[in-house]
Structure 1
Amino acid sequence: MKVLHIDSSILGTASVSRQLSQAIVEQLQAKHDNVQVEYLDLAAQPIPHLTAEILMGQNAEQAALGEQIIQQYLAADVVVVGAAMYNFGLASTLKAWIDRISVAGKTFKYTENGPVGLAGNKQVYIASSRGGVYGDNSPADFQEGFLKTVFNFTGVEQVDVVRAEGVNMGEELKNKAIEAALAQVKLI
């Protein structure tokens, strides 16, 4: 099983989303034989944000990087994304990765009946952390909903969220949120 493990939090060892994404990977390793993990730390090694030059294929180095990122995504059986909520959305480095995997003809195609995803038949786990409490379907959530939409658009139907929220609302709530999220990880 090939696992693509992506972290995007800027908080390093203090990151809750990193703690959760690592727990998910460890759970997968405990449950399955021959787990191969490829790790991307988008905070430590950010992918350049999309520019016209990159989009139009005018930079050979960036074109090669984009192809590598697409192939990592397509080759993975499982994708684990550590995604902290920043200002109701994602880290910009995670958005830069999404821009690189969202490529017509590679991860989706347009048809007369609308877009069709080409990257399906994989499982995605989103390790979500939030400083406040938003719950499901919050109008202020441009994090989990956006990620689900992107993965669904590329054809991935199995997208599960492991969430710890309220992590900036005091130690007691933070600890309870992490404990509940880690209990959810054990069910994977």
Structure 2
Amino acid sequence: MNILQINSSARAFDNGQGSHSTRLANELAAALQQAHPGAQLTVRDLARQPHPALDEPTLQALFTPAEARTPEQAARVALDDALIAELQAADVVVLGVPMYNFGVSTQLKNWIDAISRARVTFEYTATGPRGLLQGKKVYAVLTRGGKYRGTPADSQVPYLKTVLAFLGMTDVEFIYAEGLNMGPEAEAAALADARNGIAAAVHTARTEAIA
């Protein structure tokens, strides 16, 4: 089994310090490896390896036939190709998703833009769009300073459900750590809730693997 972990915090994880989302994503990925002996883990930290935004030169490169691209255009497309290849090879995807200004981070949005490519990860058919990244399990670890689960202020979950399903990834499980900035007790409770969610998710994964 191949596990792909995407850390999308703006802060790089360093020596046990850094973002809650990255720390919890690390814990989930490690637990999944333990539950599936022999599983291979690939980690893409978008703070340590920032991915360029989708801009006009990138669009021009993507819409230029491969044989006609300049060396600069080919190099830019290759950056996106690498992210797509990682995702295509993954059986399980772990997303560390902090909330920034009620949305996902720029780092995660750039990754999503990079992996969303017509005729590669999705296609349009006579009956509508069809995702080409099917059969993957996705875990999204959501970390928030306040509490937004199930409220109109939570734009992350609808967005992630929509874009992942568009690409064919419909088996998505969300794990929450909310209230992290509401005082030490709330922070401790939020982390405990998230770790309980991680334990439950891994237990289910282990049970399904045995079955």
Q: Deviation string for 1:124-175 (max 9, x for gaps)? A: 0001100010112x22222222122111110111100111011001010110
Normalization by structure 2: what TM-score? 0.85
Counterpart AA for 1:108: F
Partners of 2:48 and 2:85 in 1: CA distance? 21
- Whether 1:76 aligns to 2:101 is no
- Whether 1:171 aligns to 2:166 is no
Partners of 1:134 and 1:49 in 2: CA distance? 28
Alpha-carbon offset, residue 99 of structure 1: 0.2
Partners of 2:94 and 2:170 in 1: CA distance? 14
Give the match for residue 60 of structure 2. 56
Alpha-carbon offset, residue 98 of structure 1: 0.2
Q: Deviation string for 1:41-95 (max 9, x for gaps)? A: 1012110000121122251111111111111111100110101000000110110
Question: Which of 1 and 2 has higher RCO (CA within 8 Å, sep 6+)?
Answer: 1
Match of 2:34 among 25, 30, 33: 30
CA contact (8 A) 2:102 2:153 kept: yes
Partners of 2:79 and 2:18 in 1: CA distance? 29
Q: Secondary structure at the match of 2:172?
A: strand
Q: Secondary structure at the match of 1:3?
A: strand
Counterpart AA for 2:142: S
Partners of 1:93 and 1:18 in 2: CA distance? 13
Q: What value does the CA root-mean-square deviation take over the aligned residues? A: 1.1
Structure number with larger C-alpha Rg: 2
Counterpart AA for 2:146: G
Structure 1 stretch 114-123 or stretch 141-150: which is displaced more? 141-150
Aligned residues: percent identity?
A: 42
Partners of 1:74 and 1:142 in 2: CA distance? 26
Counterpart AA for 1:47: H
Partners of 2:112 and 2:91 in 1: CA distance? 17
Q: Deviation string for 1:5-57 (max 9, x for gaps)? A: 11011244231111210111011011102111111110121100001211222
Structure 1 stretch 50-59 or stretch 115-124: which is displaced more? 50-59
> Any gaps of 5 or more consecutive residues in structure 1?
none
Give the match for residue 109 of structure 2. 95
CA contact (8 A) 2:131 2:165 kept: yes
- Whether 1:135 aligns to 2:140 is no
- Whether 1:18 aligns to 2:22 is yes
> Any gaps of 5 or more consecutive residues in structure 2?
62-68, 202-211
